[in-house]
Structure 1
Amino acid sequence: MLKLENISYKVDNRVIINDLNLKIEKGDTIAIIGPSGSGKSTLLRLISNLISPTQGELYLNGKAYNQINPERLRMDISYLLQESDLFDRTIGENLAFPSIARGDKFDRKKAKSLLKAVGLGHYHFNTRVERLSGGERQRITIARQLMYTPKMLLLDEATSALDTENSENIERIIFKLAEEGISVLWITHSNNQSMRHFKKRIRLVDGKIEKEEHLR
């Protein structure tokens, strides 16, 4: 599905990703671990096409990134940042944004279902997001990201602001999607989290894959 071939990324004289090769198949679930500054977030930014490699090529279903419409890539590869990225408006306006961006009708039924799934079903669409806690805002961000089902979901410490119960609830939602064929790459600093559910665990050090484990 996705192939990274001899990917490097440099800023000035600093090498952040160093000649990295990786294949990700449909339905793969991969935990990405490693020390701070090892290039984990940069790797996801490259895969999501937010930045371009200074060397090497990325391919999605055999087609090079530069041959794919960027809008199409953004729909196929969804990137969930570590910090919640909400508009300071209502929950409903945030959940409706993906449909507005696509020119589609807002699926209120799905939005309500996702709100309930992330444990926020007691809130209304007209609730202002500034009333929410940091963890609740992050769960709204996750629900918004899942309004449309991508081919690949990239998560950067997506549950770091959540308590154990809500974190595990989000994991259940994400890995249910993986069972349906979505590929998942998840940066985590939690050793326990990296050992749950995932098929593989990759340790990144100095922009290189130091170790790749098959967990199941």
Structure 2
Amino acid sequence: MPEKTLLELRNIGFIADDRKILDDVSLTLNRGELCIITGPSGCGKSTLLKIAATLLEPTSGTVILSGAESRTLKPEEYRKRVSYCFQTPLLFGSTVMDNLAFPYLIRGQRADEEKIRQGLLRLHLDAGIVYKTIDELSGGEKQRVALLRNLQYLPEVLLLDEVTSALDDDNKQIVHQLIDELVQEHQLGVLWISHNSDEIHSASHVFHMQPVAAEAAHE
């Protein structure tokens, strides 16, 4: 396997409630690549991303990270290297700072307040937002805070599930620019579910998905 290959999804299948969601899906992501996953609702895009994050176990096929099968890696090691950002942001605790400090806390480290401040500014969020409760945030603010939490320690692979869906056009462009910069500066590999034309056009490649044929669901 070439050294630049980060993540490989090989012959992935997934069945839920006797319905075939994914059928023999293969995809390779290299360092410094932004791959957009697109396709109609119900074609299994989010399921595929959750399998890549090891949040779901495929019915068949293999997830490979830098040449090692995911099942051979400790879950905590894998999830430090492969970071998943949900479409619906999952914030916890009471405040924004509770969320942004969490990646440091689980590593036994003190939160880097300057790094957090710089990240907020890059996402066009006021530094004072750290004192807000999560209930005070708009949907778009929650999405950006959740994304920034995932970026406090840069992973090797970043998995994004329609993370700009609650943002206006200006803030979509801000997030898009930040992700592009991280890919270029740090050679991240990014899998991004998106229907945004700007994000699609700037991708290294686009992976189009289609629903599994109904007749195949009962094979």
AA aligned to 1:181 is Q
Any gaps of 5 or more consecutive residues in structure 2? 1-5, 214-219
Deviations 1:4-42 (A, max 9, x none): 221111113211110111111111111111000001000
* Correspondence for 1:29: 34
AA aligned to 1:10 is I
1:10-49 paired onto structure 2 within 5 Å: 10-49=15-54
Kindly tell me the number of residue pairs found equivalent between the two proteins.
Answer: 207
- Could you say what the CA RMSD is over the residues aligned between the two structures, in angstroms? 1.4
Percentage identity across paired residues of the two chains: 37
SS of the aligned residue for 2:94 comes to coil
1:190–1:125 CA distance, 2 compared to 1 (3 A): closer
- Distance across 2 between alignment mates of 1:193 and 1:3: 22
1:1-216 paired onto structure 2 within 5 Å: 1-179=6-184, 180-195=186-201, 197-206=202-211
- Distance across 1 between alignment mates of 2:212 and 2:82: 21
Structure having the larger proportion of residues in helix: 2
TM-score by length of 2: 0.90
Deviations 1:29-81 (A, max 9, x none): 11111000001000000000001111111111111111111001111111111
SS of the aligned residue for 1:123 comes to helix
Once the 2 structures are TM-superposed, how far is the Cα of residue 122 of structure 1 from its aligned partner? 4.4
Once the 2 structures are TM-superposed, how far is the Cα of residue 207 of structure 1 from its aligned partner? 5.0
AA aligned to 2:193 is I
Check conservation: 1:18, 1:206, Cα contact below 8 A.
no
Deviation above 6 Å: which 4+ runs of structure 1? none
- Distance across 2 between alignment mates of 1:103 and 1:122: 24
SS of the aligned residue for 2:209 comes to strand
AA aligned to 1:110 is K
Check conservation: 2:7, 2:65, Cα contact below 8 A.
yes
Check conservation: 2:159, 2:191, Cα contact below 8 A.
yes
Check conservation: 2:117, 2:127, Cα contact below 8 A.
no
TM-score by length of 1: 0.91
Check conservation: 1:88, 1:130, Cα contact below 8 A.
no
Any gaps of 5 or more consecutive residues in structure 1? 209-216
